[in-house]
Chains A and B, each alone.
Chain A
Amino acid sequence: MTTTDSSTAQGKKITLRIWRQPNAQTAGSFVEYQPKGLADDMSFLEMLDILNEELLARGEDTVSFDHDCREGICGSCSLMINGRAHGPNEGCTTCQVHLRSFRDGDTITVEPWRARAFPVIKDLVVDRSAFDKIIQAGGYISVNTGGAPDGNTIPVPKLISDQAMDAAQCIGCGACVAACKNGSAMLFTSAKISHLNLLPQGKAEKDERVLNMIAAHDHAGFGACSNTNSCEAVCPKEIPVTFIAKANRDYAWALLKGKQPTLGQKEVESA
């Protein structure tokens, strides 16, 4: 966390350079704003709320941005802040960044996630439905409701269970993609694969899962992973890149066993 400045009576001075783009078809550009009445204990998104109040009062279109829970778990918020996904703090989503992390007089550049697989919808809002497609390709255990055995039937060693939990923490925000120079979603995809492949319940579909989900990842237009680890550095849930290694291992094993993705190109598209 950077140093804290005391806010003046007029409030903290911050200049925002925000990416404005009316819709997917129209080119965008940066516009500068200086919202008033800012304070250290305000969250970054509350600053945008204040800016939007000012814009409404001036009769201008408000800045669109995705947000919902504002407590760091829903994965909706998604801003590049000064070139860093989710801003300056580690292990933290944009909604949890507070103005005490910036100095009085700072200029802050705010952009949407930029990746081929995440087209801009408007301003800072992008379409992340490609993540849903990856899950639809195999990010589940095929059990219907009803008929599940007693929860304690299959003991899961605590170590394995904890590892699965570490992977399962992923909130699907897309920061890993935004940070990656290849626009790869391998941290997301591998975390989802690992969560299920580690657990005994997920073993039955282990090979198909890894092959299909990676096929869906590639098909959605995400780039390949070249192990720069920039994803790990910005992940708000601090998911380690070792899960990418694990998914790659599962992938290689599946191929060695002679398995192929069971989803054809057409099914991946419709998934």
Chain B
Amino acid sequence: MATTLNSNIPSGPLAQKWDKHKFDMKLVNPANKRKYSVIVVGTGLAGASAAATMSELGYNVQSFCFQDSPRRAHSIAAQGGINGAKNYQNDGDSVYRLFYDTIKGGDFRAREANVYRLAQVSVNIIDQCVAQGVPFAREYGGLLANRSFGGAQVSRTFYAKGQTGQQLLLGAYSALSRQIAKGSVTMHPRTEMLDVVIIDGRARGIVTRNLVTGKIETHVADAVVLATGGYGNVYYLSTNAQGCNVSATYRAYKKGAAFANPCYTQIHPTCIPVTGDHQSKLTLMSESLRNDGRVWVPKRAGDNRPVSQIPEEERDYFLERKYPSFGNLAPRDIASRSAKEVCDAGQGVGPGGLGVYLDFAEATKRLGHKTIVERYGNLFQMYNTITGENAYEVPMRIYPAIHYTMGGLWVDYNLMSNIPGLFCIGEANFSDHGANRLGASALMQGLSDGYFVLPYTIGNYLAQMPKEKRPGLDHAEFKKAEADVQAQIKTLLNMKGKRSPRSFHHELGKIMWEKCGMARNHAGLAEALQKIPALREEFWQNLNLTGDSNNLNQSLEYAGRVADFLEFGELLCLDAQTRTESCGGHFREESQTPDGEAKRDDENFSFVSGWMSQGPGKAPELVKEPLVYEEVHMSQRSYK
């Protein structure tokens, strides 16, 4: 097993690395492309754009998603926007500025070369999406509109009402649909990947379950791409869709792929607060709301007067007070932790005191009701639907929730994992956001990987593959992986214990949120590391499932995902335990400045944590990829 992780970053000046690399990479002869077959798992922005683009280039693509249609992947729920360093607003933006902001926003825990490339191709993404017919917001003159978004001092965010994610995904889905119609992409909806198959050290295929018929199938290819999203649902409550899971990447980890920085999780500050134990998900409202909304709580703890009776001077606009230059637009981790602090101090509002106000009164006065409706109408409507309250009259209540996971499968500059032929793109990999992701950068990264990076780098891999016959599905490794999957399903169904998958998931989520949430400490993590294995042990003795494996069985699907979360949660806590510094979304209480800000420890933690499985029951090995900053001077992040 490899004990180093080589990032394979090309040499040369930062701004020329990608161009130089594109030139240095081997190409697959156009006539030969159709001879190669690629599996893409997941059809979100990264997966759909990669599958479509590779098919356009001539590769045979097999695309898989667990949803009933590729259009439903959770990228669809992104609201706010997508960054692009176009400088259309003439406000001083540039590729370099987007690069710098992303590195700084990631708290100096991302790779310079990857981030620079991301900023470079961001401009191509916008062009591509416009050409596909994505209806971005426009000015009266007909040109594209932009707004400033979470943590940025320039207006570089492109948006389509409050549903940028849906519009971008429909663009990628339409490109994918065109290729499906042409017959060069074979689409497998309602199909879940349950294992990756590795033959002679190379990723060669996957094992899937047809969710309708229950049939376990194997698929062979020349490369496997995982575009399976993030693992936020390990917390049970998150803004992720119900089906989002870690199974694909975690099962790849168990087969030898390194999992990088699992403790880098992002808490989103503007979610609708929890109402009770029955709650199955948390709803995010776009943080574009913070552009015009002002965040505050009553100055006095326990003040439960209605908003109209709290005079201006008795309100604490805590973000504006603490961060005068960024104010309500302070980065997500900072805004979230500040909300937690005021709630911990008893100043929280709403049921249970777990909420802060997001107030549009001043913005309505300044811009007029009509503009507020135009900018945020659908978000206000969403808030009303869920809470029954009218946010045009009383301020919204918001509270942070798990939203995005920066960690993921380790990949090199080519987006390939340490297993040759196994690629990982989008939220599922770890590569571009460091310890914290900036707003409107997830959509950018997904499409960058799928449209403009992977289709080149995968060619480089395929062109250099030994010219040998593709293994058949009767190969022993396929048979073994298939048998393992079958055996696990049988075990899950036959336990006939007392507890449902949901009850285990819920309990795991509580441990994760309390001990490894917005703020983490040694004692809490140690406790979690005790509790999770015990819960997992109970799961494998006391799980109750009904139905069978030859039909649609949603409880069975859920149980398989929870089984992986129960292992992965431990890895996440172990990573959080090992990284004793604070950085970005990872806040260790032991490592903070006197005024309570996150304190990095560059001397000891300037590395990517790559965790490698050593087999069941054994502690994983930590392999460090050092982070070298050639261009940017590492500084303490300050948004004051």
Which residues of A come within 8 Å of B, CB atoms? Answer: 1, 4, 22-23, 37, 39, 41-43, 45-46, 49-50, 52-53, 55-57, 59-62, 64, 66-76, 89, 91-92, 96, 98, 100, 121-122, 125, 127-129, 131-132, 135-137, 139-146, 148-152, 154-158, 161, 164-165, 168-169, 171-172, 195-196, 199, 201-202, 267, 270-271
Contacts and interface: CB of A to CB of B under 8 A. Distances in A.
B578 interface: no
A141 B74 CA distance: 23
A56 B9 CA distance: 51
B259 interface: no
B538 to A, nearest CB: 16
A143 B189 CA distance: 24
B191 to A, nearest CB: 13
Interface stretch (B198-206, B315-323, B541-549): B541-549
B68 interface: yes
A71 B78 CA distance: 11
A161 B546 contact: no
A46 B132 contact: no
Sorting the interface of chain B by its residue count into under 10, 10 to 19, 20 to 34 or 35 or more gives 35 or more
Contacts of B181: 136-137, 267, 271
B76 A70 contact: no
Interface stretch (B97-105, B139-147, B610-618): B139-147
8 contacts: A37-B278, A41-B276, A67-B242, A128-B68, A135-B174, A145-B56, A146-B128, A155-B141
B299 interface: no
Given A41-B275, A70-B242, A171 B131 contact: no
A72 B544 CA distance: 30
A212 to B, nearest CB: 10
B74 A69 contact: yes
Nearest to A97: B385
Interface stretch (B520-528, B550-558, B592-600): B550-558
Given A62-B554, A199-B133, A56 B544 contact: yes
A1 B387 CA distance: 13
A73 B142 CA distance: 27
Interface stretch (B30-38, B160-168, B433-441): B160-168
A76 B544 CA distance: 26
A150 B127 contact: yes
B388 A56 contact: no
Contacts, number: 226
In the A-B complex, the 7 residue pairs with the smallest Cβ-Cβ separation, listed nearest first, are A155-B142, A140-B174, A148-B131, A136-B181, A148-B127, A151-B130, A165-B135
A140 B546 contact: no
Contacts of B88: 152
B126 interface: yes
Nearest to B70: A132
Contact of A145 (B53, B72, B165, B281): B53
B404 interface: no
A140 B68 contact: no
Interface string B137-159: 11111111000000000000000
Given A73-B77, A132-B177, A135-B173, A57 B386 contact: no
Given A161-B138, A199-B135, A98 B161 contact: no
A125 B173 CA distance: 22
Given A52-B500, A61-B546, 18 more contacts: A53-B500, A61-B547, A66-B68, A68-B72, A68-B241, A71-B283, A72-B382, A98-B385, A125-B552, A127-B68, A129-B189, A145-B56, A148-B124, A148-B131, A158-B139, A161-B142, A169-B166, A202-B133
Contact of A73 (B76, B187, B243): B76
Interface string B474-503: 000000000000000000000000101011
Contacts of A158: 138-140, 142
Contacts of A149: 127, 131
Contacts of A199: 133, 135
B174 A139 contact: yes
B604 interface: no
Contact of B280 (A1, A49, A66): A49
Contact of A131 (B69, B183, B382): B69
A195 B545 CA distance: 45
A75 B135 contact: no
Interface in B498-517: 498, 500, 502-503
